[in-house]
Structure 1
Amino acid sequence: MQWTSIIAIYSLFWVLCAFLVMPFGLRTPDEVPGHRVERGHADSAPVNFRPRRIALRATALSVAMFGLFYLNYVYGWISVDDLNVFGSPPDTSKYDY
Structure 2
Amino acid sequence: MGITSGLVLYAVIWWMTLMCIAPLRLKTQADVGKVTPGTQAGSLEVHNLKPKLWITTGIATVLFAIAATIILSGWITIEDLDWWGRMGSTAEG
| TM-score of the superposed pair, with normalisation by structure 1 | 0.72
Structure 1 segment 70-89 matched on structure 2, within 5 A: 70-85=68-83, 87-89=84-86
CA distance in 2, matches of 1:79, 1:44: 46
Match of 1:14 in 2: 14
CA distance in 1, matches of 2:91, 2:8: 38
Structure 1 segment 16-95 matched on structure 2, within 5 A: 16-32=16-32, 35-85=33-83, 87-89=84-86, 93-94=92-93
Please identify which structure carries the higher strand content.
Answer: 2
Q: How many residues align?
A: 91
Letter of the 2:55 counterpart? R
Which runs of 5 or more residues in structure 2 are unaligned?
A: none
CA distance in 2, matches of 1:81, 1:2: 19
Query: What is the percent sequence identity of the aligned residues?
Result: 20
Report the structure number with the largest CA radius of gyration.
Answer: 1
Aligned-partner SS, 1:88? coil
| TM-score of the superposed pair, with normalisation by structure 2 | 0.74
In the TM superposition, structure 1's runs of 4+ consecutive aligned residues that sit over 2 Å from their partners are 1-9, 27-32, 81-85, 89-92
CA distance in 1, matches of 2:92, 2:8: 40
- How far has the Cα of 1:56 moved from its partner? 0.7
- How far has the Cα of 1:30 moved from its partner? 4.0
- How far has the Cα of 1:41 moved from its partner? 1.8
RMSD: 2.4
CA distance in 1, matches of 2:7, 2:91: 41
CA distance in 2, matches of 1:5, 1:79: 16
CA distance in 1, matches of 2:60, 2:91: 43
